Structure 1
Amino acid sequence: MDFFHSSGVLIIQHLQKDYRAYYDFLNFMSNVGDPRNVFSIYFPLWFQLNQTVGTKMIWVAVIGDWFNLIFKWILFGHRPYWWIQETQVYPNHSSPCLEQFPTTCETGPGSPSGHAMGSLCVWYVMVTAALSYTVSSLDKSFVTLHRLTWSFLWSVFWLIQVSVCISRVFIATHFPHQVILGVIGGMLVAEAFEHTPGILMASLNMYLKTNIFLFLFALGFYLLLRLLDIDLLWSVPIAKKWCANPDWIHIDSTPFAGLVRNLGVLLGLGFAINSKMFLKSCQGENGCKLSFRLLCAKASLAALQLHPFIKIPTHREPLFYLLSFCKSAPIPLTVVALIPYCVRMLLRTSEKKTK
């Protein structure tokens, strides 16, 4: 493993030396792969345009991130920015210098890459949905157009994934083999959900059971290894120790922060889809109108831009996790139920005034 790590350090040094001028672009691509963007950007847009795709996107993002957490706990992967300080590979304190950035100091284990895995899962859903739509809408005789569309969409897909992977390596938060593992894991999860149509018709009871299972399995796994004197949060103090700027350490990058955030979103989606507001707003004739859906998409995107401004206390981790769960649950409730219901009521009011 030291071979992969030391080889990865050389690649990171090369990237930081020769591609420093592209930092803004690479930092942007790192943000593109941030799993949190699924809930604040991709989901509100896609759900209003296609409820099936939006629902699948949340399931893929949550389950993919859950698997990523479990594998991180199993693989005990180091991150480059602290590995060079902890390893004995470099004698006489001759460890190489890796530049750190505001997005470098993630506190969880590094393998596999959550950004690479999450980005691939979500973009896989979007590309396959777009291909499905174009294939169904275009005449079957346009074989060349089908092939061009297929080639273009998958080329864009892989361009985005490679850029996200390079960006994560560039900022020294992942080794190259960790982003490759993330890509492989993301592909497996996304492909598995292509053959799991049952989630699209899941009841509220199914959402509740899934939430309970995911939480209890992760918590039980953590407690079991604690009994075996294995601390799954071993990476947090190391990250705090070697991060160049204490302000770059954020509690929302800890392993449990992502877990509770995702569970909150999934449970919120379950309540939203099974709510009367959703059934009245999106299942009637309004749900078939493109103008109604576009208006809902714009309103959802605008409303969720306020979400980051809701600050929760970070001085106590259990309280932070609880409030993080409560903060995440309203996201799908807003997108799926509240916004469409409000738009429907506004449209009805305006129609009455024009009569």
Structure 2
Amino acid sequence: MRVFVLAGEPSGDRLGGAVMQGLKQLSPDVTFDGIGGPNMIAEGLTSRFPMDELSVMGIAEVLPKYRHLKRRLTQTVDWVLDTKPDVLLTIDAPDFSLRVASQVKERSDIRCVHYVAPTVWAWRAGRAAKMARYLDQLLALLPFEPPYFEDVGLRCDFVGHPVAAEPVATDAEVAAFRAEAGLGDARTLLVLPGSRRGEVGRLAPVFGEAMRPLVKRHPGLRIVVPAADHVAGDVLELVKSWPGDPVVLDPRGLRGDLATARKRAAFRAADLALAASGTVSLELAAADTPMVVAYDMNWLTWQIASRMVKLDTVTLVNLVAGTRTVPEFLGPDCRPAPIADALHHLLSSPDALAEQHAAMAASMQALGRGAEPPGLRAARSVLDGLG
């Protein structure tokens, strides 16, 4: 069996590596071609070009790279048509991936499967019907997504979310981390200003200002800032002006598994977190760490996106658990004072913390904690679709 697999960003690469591993387990003769990152390469993929060329987010950010992305789109479609795989498996990065799938389906009968359902439940609901014209199957990470696509005739399988299958740091690992970071028994706030340079540049100054009144109210509070390797230098520079002598977790120079283990320990060691909006809210829920979510973006991107989103929350813990227990501050509301007040409220209110703990536990159960690993479930769905 031949699979052409395409991922466009690190989260998709992790999903791709897991489903490739599952496919090899269930169908040992499988071979892979396509575009991916280190996780997919480790499972046997030779990437046609570096995946990070596709890791662009936001309307204003995409425009300067439009011609190059369009050229890569044409190349990718041609490669799929030339190699004639049994299935084209595109993973996340919908602006690129779904264009590839659409053009492939226009010119062939190659089976097209997309992994990670676009958020039609949040905005642009009409995408579901359009996708049904060229996709044969969709794999969803969130349990409430399949009906949105099945209603328009597109097969959609919930395969579980990978965060629910990730290991959680042990008490011994947490104790070792706290000792290594010099935290002692102090209450600890985890601050996560994003993993892209644009995010970090916008959010870190706001988050830093939110720390000032918070540290005054809670003088013994310690701040820990995990940094992605490609923005670690930026983070180290930006937190120099923060109060509270923050501890930056710089993964550069560490082996990948050690950096991951340290980050996992930091997540579970924290009493509370301030995080950029995104999948990180589920990572915090997996570690049972209460949180406040905040996010800002390029002005043009915000003006367009805020008019299209039809939900009153974008935080995944809120959506999966069906609650609104995680406070969020988005766009113009992403300001230091209200963020600091929300963090103070959580630090001071056992009832608010208990509500979040219950919501996080519910979200992990709904996402498949304790069930078969999502990569293997996704692989089963792909093979079932092929008959």
TM range (shorter): under 0.3
Q: Tell me which of the two structures has the higher relative contact order, counting C-alpha pairs closer than 8 angstroms and 6 or more residues apart.
A: 1
Structure with greater proportional helix content: 1
TM (norm. structure 2) is 0.24
Greater strand share, 1 or 2? Answer: 2
